[in-house]
Amino acid sequence: MLNSVQCTVYSVQLGPKLIIKWVKQMASMREIKLRIKSVKETRQITNAMKLISAAKLKKARQQLEETLPYFDKVKTTIADILLHSGNIDNTFFDIRKEKENKKKGYVVITGDKGLAGGYNHNILKLAEKELESSPDSILFIPGITGRNYFTRKGCNMAKDFDYPVQNPTVYRAREIADILLDMFKKGEVDEVYVIYTKMISSIRLEPEVMKLLPLNMEALREDLKESRPVDESLVYEPSPKAVFDVLIPKYVKGIMYGTLVEAFTSEQNARMTAMDNATSNADEVLQKLNLYYNRARQASITQEITEIVGGAAALQ
């Protein structure tokens, strides 16, 4: 159900044509005046939402830039150990080749609110496409919009997994990562994927599916080989396996935090763009409504003058 503010904003987002079509079908100046007042109030809302989203977007971008170097360093350290070691026996590299009908888990990051253009729709559409090939997958859904949507569809959702996506924190990412790592170790899920929105640029947002678990050993090695030469002098104490047991949970937590921040950044960017378009549409609607109001007012004055002149002529 949409509240009155959302309905009004959506009507402005649809563009001026529908409103102008409605204006042409009526003759009452009072109704046009009420519509002008309504659009002005809606414009104030959309403009305020645009400014709020712009402020949140700036903060989210700064947050992402500040945290990425740490988690990139964790990734390169893991790759370093792999280059200096053989095939390390670690649970999180287990691809479980021998297992048939692998159980998949999807972390679907949607927004907590609407009025963000096609942001939520695109993520939900991609998630449904993934579920077509794996209908028994477990869904982990941060974000109220996604939870409400998949609850109505009766999908298999993880119980007690209720996390907001507004203002993501490392603590929240660690809780989510701990749940996923624990279920993977217990064999409750064999593969974990994250579906989120990646911000390619300020005008280009793309939904993306990223594999989180199990980790790809060869891919990590190749990434490091391409980025810089191998330093053969590195030694890890007490052992590469012990270091992995500490680093991998941190790495998964970092990836989870990074996707939450990037999704939140994308959501604010999408909402800012949608509200900017809605504000521009409101300006266009107001311009045309004022024009029709002035025409109706002029027609009313002309009619009154005609009636006065006609009445005066009849008395003569």
pLDDT at 193: 93
Cβ neighbourhood burial of 308 (10 Å; 0-12, 13-18, 19+): exposed
Whether residue 147 contacts residue 107, with contact meaning beta carbons closer than 8 Å, is answered with no
State phi, psi for 210 to the nearest 5 degrees.
Answer: -125, 130
In a domain, 117, yes or no: yes
Q: Name residue 231's amino acid.
A: D
pLDDT at 256 over 80: yes
Number of domains the chain contains: 1
Q: Name residue 224's amino acid.
A: L
pLDDT at 221 over 70: no
- Using pLDDT thresholds of 50, 70 and 90, give the confidence band for residue 59: confident
List of residues 6+ apart from 156 with CB closer than 8 A = 136, 137, 138, 139
In a domain, 288, yes or no: no
Helices (H) and strands (E) in the chain, counts: 8, 4
Neighbours of 277 (CB within 10 A): 16
Between vectors from CA 41 to CA 38 and to CA 42, what angle results, nearest 5°?
85
pLDDT at 194 over 90: yes
CATH code for position 204: 3.40.1380.10
Q: What is Dmax (Cα atoms) for the chain?
A: 116
- Using pLDDT thresholds of 50, 70 and 90, give the confidence band for residue 18: low
pLDDT at 66 over 70: yes
Mean pLDDT calculated for residue range 33-61: 86
Provide the domain limits for residue 98. 91-271
List of residues 6+ apart from 236 with CB closer than 8 A = 81, 84, 243
pLDDT at 110: 92
Helix (H, G, I), strand (E, B) or coil at 97: coil
Whether residue 121 contacts residue 98, with contact meaning beta carbons closer than 8 Å, is answered with no
pLDDT at 232: 53
- The helix (run of H) or strand (run of E) holding residue 105 is strand 104-108
Mean pLDDT calculated for residue range 221-241: 60
In a domain, 71, yes or no: no
Neighbours of 120 (CB within 10 A): 22
Tens-place pLDDT, residues 101-128 = 788 999 999 988 888 888 899 999 999 9
- Using pLDDT thresholds of 50, 70 and 90, give the confidence band for residue 198: confident
What is the value of pTM for the model shown?
A: 0.78
In a domain, 299, yes or no: no
Tens-place pLDDT, residues 268-278 = 888 888 888 88
pLDDT at 9 over 60: no
- Using pLDDT thresholds of 50, 70 and 90, give the confidence band for residue 141: very high
In a domain, 79, yes or no: no
In a domain, 36, yes or no: no
Neighbours of 55 (CB within 10 A): 12
DSSP letter for 116, please.
S
pLDDT at 140 over 90: yes
In a domain, 246, yes or no: yes
Q: Which tokens hold the place of 30?
A: 């009072």
Mean pLDDT calculated for residue range 41-65: 85
The residue count for the chain: 316
Report the mean per-residue pLDDT for the chain.
79
Q: Which tokens hold the place of 214?
A: 């199990």
216-to-72, 253, 311 alpha-carbon distances in Å: 16, 16, 92
pLDDT at 1: 46
pLDDT at 108: 93
Compute the distance between CA of residue 121 and CA of residue 108 in angstroms, rounded to an integer.
Answer: 12
User: What is the number of alpha carbons within 13 Å of residue 251 lying toward its C-beta?
Assistant: 21
277-to-8, 37, 121, 160 alpha-carbon distances in Å: 14, 19, 18, 38
In a domain, 252, yes or no: yes
Mean pLDDT calculated for residue range 68-89: 69
pLDDT at 253 over 70: yes
Mean pLDDT calculated for residue range 204-223: 79
Among 147-161, 198-212, 240-254, 267-281, name the one with the lowest average pLDDT: 240-254
pLDDT at 257 over 80: yes
